[in-house]
Chain A
Amino acid sequence: AQSVTQLDSQVPVFEEAPVELRCNYSSSVSVYLFWYVQYPNQGLQLLLKYLSGSTLVESINGFEAEFNKSQTSFHLRKPSVHISDTAEYFCAVSVPGSGNTPLVFGKGTRLSVIA
């Protein structure tokens, strides 16, 4: 079975500073990896995903994540955060070809950007 660990429950960071939100997964087979973002009082939205190919994936709002198979990690980074990035971020994993087995989510990391 797969599992996801988000190592930090809360990350405070000053505006325009860099940030890294950590995600490690456990799986004995190949995986797909996802980052979702939840802005205050909203549902979750897909931020970016890794399926195959280039291990570095990017979102339209400046976030990037790198798939590291040897370290079983998929950390999310942004070089300069804005107040509007304040949200909760969830890492998730699925197994290719597993049918409709639900995604496995981490417990989330709350990013607070301080002016």
Chain B
Amino acid sequence: NAGVTQTPKFQVLKTGQSMTLQCAQDMNHNSMYWYRQDPGMGLRLIYYSASEGTTDKGEVPNGYNVSRLNKREFSLRLESAAPSQTSVYFCASSERQDRGYGYTFGSGTRLTVV
């Protein structure tokens, strides 16, 4: 089925460990996004990639890095995980959201840092 695939779905890390969240889309979308969702905070943009080869910071980039590996894949890396990064992470993609296409979201990665 066409869409956005995120791996893993669940992860528990110890403080200081590193990990990479993977995201891939098969809709030939140009833009990809990483959000985190915390209770009462809504969705907060971490990083986005408007097109292959470009990345930009969002609202809460500290503690994260991203790589737009190719048009399909956009990964999010936590170099040294902290308990404050416990959250649900969503990847999304879009053709041209300013033309009204909106986003397609993945099903999320639930990350717990202990």
Contact = CB atoms under 8 A, between A and B. Distances in A.
Interface of A: 9, 32, 34, 36, 42-46, 49, 51, 90, 92, 94-103, 105-108
B53 interface: no
Interface size class on chain B is 20 to 34
B40 A9 contact: yes
B45 A102 contact: yes
Interface of B: 4, 30-31, 33, 40-43, 45, 48, 50-51, 58, 90, 92, 94, 96-100, 102-108
Given A43-B105, A92-B102, 16 more contacts: A9-B40, A36-B103, A43-B4, A46-B103, A96-B100, A97-B98, A98-B98, A99-B98, A100-B30, A100-B50, A100-B51, A100-B94, A100-B97, A102-B45, A103-B102, A105-B42
Contacts of B108: 42-43
A26 B69 CA distance: 35
B97 A51 contact: no
* Highest count of chain B CB atoms <10 Å: which of A9, A44, A106: A44
